[in-house]
Chains A and B, each alone.
Chain A
């Protein structure tokens, strides 16, 4: 497969199961007129996007198009940035997570996240996974839960004899799978992945991608990636964001959202076509 040329056609994995037909899909998230601003400048503007259960949804687009900002608005991680302001609604199973009386801690318990840079805690491998379980009070059969999470993250065989060793002794790819294990150990509903493989080598990247195919049976996955091949390989649905230039700078907008094969082979919008065929900008 030639991935060197900028205009090389992007292959869609044939082995992948076909996504649920449109009528069988159940929306986990539905954003309505979602705008996230830092200070006065909107980073991403007026997004209406449904995200479906047990599918992998990829968010692609050029740098600065607000894809990470959008992702972080789905579990209220933007709350941590003091200047961030959210307008519009993010409906999670029909309930606006920015509504009155919603506890962001409860939101994050259901919607886990894996970050761009592997960020294991300065604890042992075991405690990295067990910490979240302890915090959330899921202490029954702790060993079993840790083992299951590490197995699901395809890390168990590599670490089972060194569970008490520090997590920083692991390679970058192993650390990222540990972070994935940590996220799924607490049995979330959704896992958000913010460019989870961008700091990893190709072999580690392949492992993470293979995992996503496994995990979508149990979880709803949303992945931000700047790697189009990756989106094509892992995602059932793909959303393309771009940067819309304005007088005061620019902000991200959702251009097109559809099943992955359609986005990559016959997109409706010229901008999508330009981006996926490498003629962007």
Chain B
């Protein structure tokens, strides 16, 4: 037995040298990869810790009531985050509401329906949309989208759908609706390209199985492609939500820095991220700075929760794709 094992290696010296080399390479690889993984984890903890540390004066002064209080009064140092949490969740949620069906439609078109030659061209154009720097997109929001919403889209929505609280009020060139549309434009390239990849990943034999039964393309999409990919689409949507929640610059440019909690999309508003971007440089008191960092901490917690949710969804439901019960 041992003779046969020995026959594989040549001489003891070579064996020893290789063992040493192997061992070094092994240790090196192990150390390098382990360090990279540990660094990622450590960085997350370090950033979170530092944020909460800087926010500490505000946290200890206002406590949890900061989260449920409205208003941002720098002169009297009375700060609350509720307006901003509302603005963040409202803009992100509505952007997602528009972006999700659009992304699924783009994904389906590019994976199933578009003429083959056009697919890659359109796909890269859609992905290039994500390459627009957010500050440039925000500028376009100010110059083009804002006036369009204020002069055309807003009045039209108000006239026809004014009975819905969302479209109550006077349309302006800056406000929640413009921010929602800018966020939608930022989310769609990400979610639609993930959707496209997911739809392309559906096994051909499943699609053929559906079509061989006499299903139309639409029935195949509804009955096979969407059920097969729903976990991934769900995760893509939540990823897009995470993107929208954290976007600062473009939102700051178009949302109009307003106060209060309104349903109206024509009102101006603010989000956690846009407030930070607007005021951090110009904060005058220590407690104002700490309060702004408190906002950052809330944003961080929301983002982490959203991403955790995406992970849970993928883990919990991915077995359905393999047909488990």
Interfacial residues, chain A to chain B (CB-CB below 8 A) = 75, 77, 80, 82, 105-106, 108-110, 112-113, 115, 117, 119-124, 131-132, 135-136, 164-169, 179, 182-183, 186
How many contacts A-B (CB < 8 Å)?
Answer: 89
B interface secondary structure, majority: helix
CB pair A120–B323 under 8 Å, yes or no, is: yes
Known contacts A105-B216, A131-B223, A135-B215; A121 and B210 CB within 8 A of each other: yes
B→A interface (CB under 8 Å) = 116, 203, 205-216, 219, 223-224, 227-228, 320-325
State whether B219 touches A135 (Cβ < 8 A): yes
Contact present for A183 and B228 (CB under 8 Å): no
Inter-chain CA distance A77–B212, complex, in Å, is: 7
- Top 10 A-B residue pairs of the complex, sorted by shortest distance between their CB atoms: A168-B323, A109-B214, A166-B323, A132-B213, A113-B212, A119-B205, A119-B209, A108-B214, A165-B325, A122-B323
Given known A-B contacts A119-B203, A119-B205, A121-B223, A75 and B212 have beta carbons under 8 A apart: yes
Residue numbers in B under 8 Å from A186 (CB-CB):
213-214
In the complex, the chain A residue whose C-beta lies closest to that of B223 is: A131
* Residues on B with beta carbons closer than 8 Å to the beta carbon of A179: 209
In the bound complex, how far is the Cα of B325 from the Cα of A115, in angstroms? 24
Closest A-chain residue to B207, C-beta based? A80
| Alpha-carbon gap, A119 to B211, bound state (A) | 12
Q: Are A182 and B213 in contact (CB under 8 A)?
A: yes
Residues of A within 8 A of B323 (CB): 120-123, 166-169
- Distance (whole angstroms) from the CB of B232 to the closest CB of chain A: 12
Complexed CA–CA distance, A183 and B320 (Å): 23
Q: Is the CB of A121 within 8 A of B206?
A: yes
6 pairs of residues in contact across A and B, judged by CB atoms under 8 Å: A77-B211, A105-B214, A115-B208, A115-B212, A119-B209, A122-B227
With a cutoff of 8 Å between Cβ atoms, the chain B residues found around residue A112 in the complex are 212-214
Given the complex, which residues of B lie within 8 Å of A131, measured CB to CB?
A: 210, 213, 223
On whether the beta carbons of B325 and A122 are closer than 8 Å, the reply is no
Partner of B214, one of A106, A122, A123, A124: A106
Q: Please, which residues of chain A bring their CB within 8 A of the CB of B203? A: 119
